[in-house]
Structure 1
Amino acid sequence: MTPIRVLICEDQALVRTGYATIFSAQPDLAVVGEAADGREAVRLAQQLRPDVAVMDIRMPILDGIEATRRLAGPGVDEPVKILVVTTFNVDAYVYEALRAGASGFLLKDAPHGQLVDGIRTVARGESLLAPAVTRRLIGHFAERLRPTDTSAPARETVSAALTSRELEVFRQIAAGRSNAEIAAELLISVETVKTYVSRILAKLGLRDRVQAVILAYRIGLVPGPR
């Protein structure tokens, strides 16, 4: 089995060393590089093409949000999968990182096993964002997520692209519900929900559920929290 190639982007040397030790001990992970600042992270990611870049947000020269945007943001032809590892008390940074293209995030004090599993999850092309965290972020940033004056055409385009059932599932995703919760709400199986989610992402050209949540609120498909 080909190991997952990981790039570590973290300005603290001790943290980088710790990550490298943890990841290298896993038979299915291989550390291909380490970056101490955001500019180096972008350079190494473009040069090494890792399967996953583990990205800190607060880094010198270029912060992790801008580095993520350059590697995985809109208009990037071959985006790199980004797993942000940060502290939870900076929700604004997490929100901006997700909008910049990150596939998910974990806390810096997460157990080692959770961090390793997070890399595997992102490498599979899945998003790593717990439903409860989705709801929290939406609650904190409802004002930013409200639709703009130009949202109507985009909303019409999305509605036209999806079937009525897919729109139902899309709204459930936007509410931060898990596949199991959606299945219970719509009285369908979890496997059916997974199929709907895959179709929705493919039709709308979205990479993962994180992008789906942001799009749904940005175009006003569902009302922002009060």
Structure 2
Amino acid sequence: MDFTPLIEEVRTHVERGNQLMEPHRVVAAMGSRLALSLLVSAIRPGHQLVGAATCEPVALKLLKAKEADLLLCTDRLEQGNGGSLVAAAKRQDPALSAVMVVTQPRRLITIRRAVEAGCDGVCLESQIGRGTVALALTTVSAGAAYTEKGLYKQYFEGYSGIGDAPLAQLTDREVEVLQRIAADATNQEIAAALFISAETVKSHVAQIFHKLGARSRLHAAVKGIRLGLVEWPEDR
């Protein structure tokens, strides 16, 4: 494709991404040294980028040593992969936020592993330049989950298992909250839509996670759809 018309748009998204990363301590892990070099050069000098790696073991060490709170990674790494990296990173620090860029969307096991590990955002490399990473960072920073449009459908078409049944039946209100989680709504947005407090939403989310055995909002949404508890979001 002719990428020339996107040059100014990309620059705008890079600036937005810099603003979103300012409050964080970021470790970037990418299998492409070119992509990693471009990311490093695009991030403004400052404290936010505390580590960069091309393989899983080094990224894990950096996350811990640098006390990072945000992981940006690709599914393909020189050693290991993004799915297992997210899983190990979340075990190491459950409070860590993780956003993964999928370069090989047909390798569904990697996506599945990342989602089930508690990945907070999943983007497609094919949408890079369109603001997908900036949008993911915006959504995750607001406390919601982010999944690229079209990735939900591709994920479910490639994985037919429905997983374990919930530990307990979800209440009607919990199903309402889960439906909005699947639509990438934040707790504040859910509270406003359902006319309840954000604290009440937080309590419902905790119960949903427990009953579904979910590790993140994205994981809960995936499980809810696979189990038929909620509908596909209209914009998917």
Q: What TM-score do the two structures reach when normalised by structure 2?
A: 0.68
Change (3 A) 1:126 1:58: same
Could you tell me how far apart the structure 1 residues matched to 2:204 and 2:150 are? 21
* Partner residue in 1 for 2:63: 45
RMSD, aligned α-carbons? 3.6
The answer to whether residue 28 in structure 2 is matched with residue 24 in structure 1 is: no
* Partner residue in 1 for 2:30: 10
Matched residue SS, 2:89: helix
Change (3 A) 1:120 1:51: farther
Question: Are the equivalent residues in 2 in contact too, given 1:55–1:83 (CA < 8 A)?
Answer: yes
* Partner residue in 1 for 2:83: 65
1:222 shift after superposition: 2.9
Change (3 A) 1:118 1:79: same
* Partner residue in 2 for 1:216: 224
Could you tell me how far apart the structure 1 residues matched to 2:138 and 2:205 are? 20
| 1:111-167 alpha-carbon deviations (Å, 9 max, x no partner) | 2743234234334432111465334423432x22x144xx36x1x2xx2xx542223
The answer to whether residue 158 in structure 2 is matched with residue 137 in structure 1 is: no
- The amino acid across from 1:48 in the alignment is K
Q: Identify the match of residue 81 of structure 1 among 97, 100, 121.
A: 97
Q: Which deviates the most, 8-17 or 207-216?
A: 207-216
Q: Give 5+ residue unaligned stretches, structure 2.
A: 1-18
- The amino acid across from 1:39 in the alignment is P
Matched residue SS, 1:122: helix
Q: Which deviates the most, 188-197 or 42-51?
A: 188-197
- The amino acid across from 1:121 in the alignment is T
Alignment of 1:134-213 (within 5 A): 134-141=152-159, 143-144=160-161, 146-148=162-164, 151=165, 154=167, 156=168, 159=169, 163-170=171-178, 172-173=179-180, 176-177=182-183, 179=185, 190=193, 192=195, 195=198, 198-205=202-209, 208-213=216-221
* Partner residue in 2 for 1:125: 143
Aligned residues: 202
Question: Are the equivalent residues in 2 in contact too, given 1:201–1:207 (CA < 8 A)?
Answer: no
Could you tell me how far apart the structure 2 residues matched to 1:223 and 1:114 are? 25
Matched residue SS, 1:203: helix
Change (3 A) 1:199 1:134: farther
Question: Are the equivalent residues in 2 in contact too, given 1:7–1:34 (CA < 8 A)?
Answer: yes
Q: Give 5+ residue unaligned stretches, structure 1.
A: none
1:63 shift after superposition: 1.7
Change (3 A) 1:16 1:191: farther
Could you tell me how far apart the structure 2 residues matched to 1:124 and 1:20 are? 24
Q: % of aligned pairs identical?
A: 18
1:103 shift after superposition: 0.8
Could you tell me how far apart the structure 2 residues matched to 1:222 and 1:53 are? 30
- The amino acid across from 1:50 in the alignment is A
1:7 shift after superposition: 0.8
1:213 shift after superposition: 1.8
